[in-house]
Copies of this chain bind each other. A is one copy, B any other.
Amino acid sequence: MNSKASHQTGNRVVIVGAGFGGLNAAEALAGAPAEITVIDRKNHHTFQPLLYQVATAGLSPGEIAAPIRSILTRHRNVEVLMAEVTGFDLDRRAVQTAEHEVPYDYLIVAAGARHAYFGHEEWEPFAPGLKTIEDALEIRRRVLLAFELAERRAAAGEGDDPLNFVVVGGGPTGVELAGTLAEICRHALAGDFRSIDPRRARIHLIEGGPHVLPAYPEDLSRSALEQLRRLGVEVSTSAMVTKIEPGVIYMGDTPMNAAVILWAAGVAASPLGKKLGGPTDRAGRVLVEPDLSIPAHPEVFVIGDLAALKDASGNLLPGVAPVAIQEGRFVGKLIMRELEKRPPSFSRSLREGGDFDFHYHDKGSLATIGRSAAIAQFGKIHISGFAAWLAWLFVHILFLIGFRNRVLVFIQWAWSYFTYERGARLITGGTNLPGWSDTHLGDHRPKPGAEEISATVDK
């Protein structure tokens, strides 16, 4: 295709990753005098801010994800390839995939981040994280299955100790998961069981630092803590996870039985960042120039969670959707402007003078905690509780990709807000849980003397 493309224009822009950054770059380049190729290993864009709703059975995958090619279908100069990018040849200007090479004149790498276990990858099977639709379905499976297995045991007279759900990490994802889990135990599932009482389930949120939602001002993070406790979440701050085994999690030497353990304790950038060969920070983010290109390669840009860029006050831009969106649009426009020159000039000198530097416009930030519970910061204005939750709801439904999804999600939400029902309580896939295979979970007593491994939270 790119041969074909080059005949037409000689300008080939390849975008790796169709998250918020990649999609917005593609939209900005729609109609440009260039062939745009978007490469993603999935066929769908995932609206990550609502992923926790899929993990907690509130929404179906199809409601928060849309096929990349149908999102971009109206842009005739944009093609979409579902392929796994394996590396780059910056000198020959080619992206390497498992099967083919895709040449480019401009490259935008927006490969995002994945949850990380900080050297304890062996914990992943026992404490899955939440970054993809598949992750969300696996978490949903484990949470729902835990109640089914507990009911089965209780019905057979094997006791009904309350279930422990443990969420590791007090950032936005951990807070959303813990708050929503508490809500569905108290409401959605409450009346559906005969031998156990889901309301007795305990939700533990474990944060390594002193505060939950540490990225927010202290008053909001305190308010978040109160709202979590009101929802029935037991929050431990400054708590270090030292070991995770099937059905057991250790803080220091103290073990806790857990029906389900969820990991939201930090992210690492995509390994593709290192493959660009330039400097990266300890989380694997690529250190970019003020114009988001990489050193010595003005034709290669890195955006979104994969890029490490500091704002005026020297703080690293957060890994949130608005940053990725603005970076995508910025790079798209920058390339568009250079493409309109004949021949396109890559020299950074032409971008000097500051008006080619990226500046993030912080329109405020929101974090949801659960039903009618959230915090919001718009500059000096701090809101929490129902008002913040409404703001959050409005913003997220508004930005949800695809009108159809927006309507459906809104109906779902209205419905479950008034009925407390969860629309997607399906268990698909296997019917086992780590730590459950062996008789009764209550008997699953850990051995003393856990070696001291510290898994601090990276923020």
Contact = CB atoms under 8 A, between A and B. Distances in A.
Interface of A: 1-3, 41-44, 60-63, 65-67, 69-70, 73, 79-84, 99-100, 133-134, 137, 144-145, 148-149, 151-152, 154-157, 191-195, 404, 407-408, 411-412, 415, 419, 421, 423-429, 431
A144 B415 CA distance: 31
A128 to B, nearest CB: 15
A425 B43 contact: yes
Contact of A192 (B70, B193, B421): B70
A420 to B, nearest CB: 11
A133 B426 contact: yes
Nearest to A77: B194
B69 A192 contact: yes
A188 B144 CA distance: 34
Main secondary structure, interface of A, reads mixed
Given A134-B429, A152-B100, A43 B144 contact: yes
Nearest to A72: B192
A415 B425 contact: no
Contacts of A154: 1
A43 B70 CA distance: 33
A157 B3 CA distance: 9
What is the count of identical protomers in the complex?
2
A31 to B, nearest CB: 15
Nearest to A42: B427
A46 B3 CA distance: 48
Which 7 pairs from chain A and chain B are nearest by CB?
A62-B424, A60-B60, A1-B155, A60-B62, A79-B194, A82-B148, A69-B192
Nearest to A46: B426
Most B CB within 10 A of own CB, among A44, A149, A412: A44
8 contacts: A43-B427, A60-B62, A61-B424, A61-B426, A80-B151, A83-B152, A99-B156, A408-B408
Nearest to A155: B1
A35 to B, nearest CB: 9
Contacts of A65: 426
B43 A426 contact: yes
A411 to B, nearest CB: 7
A423 B403 CA distance: 11
A68 to B, nearest CB: 9
Contact of A428 (B133, B151, B426): B133
Nearest to A101: B156
Contacts of A67: 192, 425-426
A301 to B, nearest CB: 23
A5 B155 CA distance: 10
Given A407-B411, A427-B43, A193 B69 contact: yes
Given A60-B63, A408-B408, A411-B407, A428 B134 contact: yes
Nearest to A154: B1
A144 to B, nearest CB: 6
Contacts of A100: 152, 155-156
A401 to B, nearest CB: 13
